[in-house]
Amino acid sequence: MSATATRTHRRTARRGLATALAAAGAVVAAAVPASATPTAEDVSPEQELTDAIVVVDQYWADNYEWYFGEEYVAPLVYTGSEGVQGMYTSGVDSYLCAGEEALTPSNALHCGEPVGEDWVAVSDDLLYAGTDQIGDAFVYMVVAHEWAHGIQQRQPGWTAPWTELQADCLAGATLAEATEQGLLTWDEGDEEELAAGLEAVADETGWTDTTSHGSAQERIDFFQHGVDDGVEGCLYDGVQP
């Protein structure tokens, strides 16, 4: 999966990926780069994270008002002691969310401070393990999922009781529509990486547990629902998608 240097803006009824998936110096700031770095064959995990943030933020900047009729206000992005946008170093960086330590090991999070002050971050150990064991698509999935929690915060009336599965659905819609709109290119094997990533975070990593995030199959199903039916298909109208 790779960011695309140029993009076209279009919206189609058909989802383009319908076949996919069967703290020293720490700062929280809206310092999202203007454009993603064109992707080479081997990109560092840190650059993958930067590119994923750019793509997901740009997708919502382009589409949020169309869906919700409101101006888009992006979440902030935490940058830790290593200076990598969106990444904190487990056991080194420290930052509070709602008065409690937020930067736990092997984790990714959206901190739901007031809109415009809320922020997202990914731990270095989760980033490295995910890219090493699963692949670069894992990074995009994690960023899209955490950004989706920011969308839920901005649209509580459309937020489902099963917030984590809805975030998976919105992540699928984000990556599918970002691809349609030319922000993202899928590489061979990305679908398998996404399925493996959803399975891994359902079963193994610290940022999930099956009681709140759903089983691996549920997570894959909700992600696929977003791929197939887009953002509108993920919005809660009183019944489960």
Question: Mean pLDDT across the stretch 229-235?
Answer: 96
**What's residue 6's pLDDT?**
38
pLDDT of residue 4 exceeding 90, the answer is no
| Per-residue pLDDT band at 68 (split at 50, 70, 90) | very high
**What's residue 228's pLDDT?**
94
Q: Which residues contact 66 (CB under 8 A, 6 or more apart)?
A: 11
Q: Are 52 and 2 in contact (CB under 8 A)?
A: no
Question: Mean pLDDT across the stretch 60-68?
Answer: 98
Tokens standing for 48?
Answer: 């993958």
Q: CA distances (Å), 93 to each of 6, 23, 44, 123, in order?
A: 35, 3, 21, 10
Question: Mean pLDDT across the stretch 56-77?
Answer: 98
Tokens standing for 107?
Answer: 């984790």
Question: Mean pLDDT across the stretch 176-180?
Answer: 94
pLDDT of residue 204 exceeding 90, the answer is no
117 or 161, which is more confident? 117
**What's residue 67's pLDDT?**
97
The gap between the terminal CA atoms of the chain, to the nearest Å, is 27
Question: Mean pLDDT across the stretch 58-87?
Answer: 97
**What's residue 189's pLDDT?**
62
Question: Mean pLDDT across the stretch 46-53?
Answer: 96
- Among 25-34, 67-76, 86-95, 227-236, the minimum mean pLDDT is found in 25-34
Average pLDDT for the chain? 80
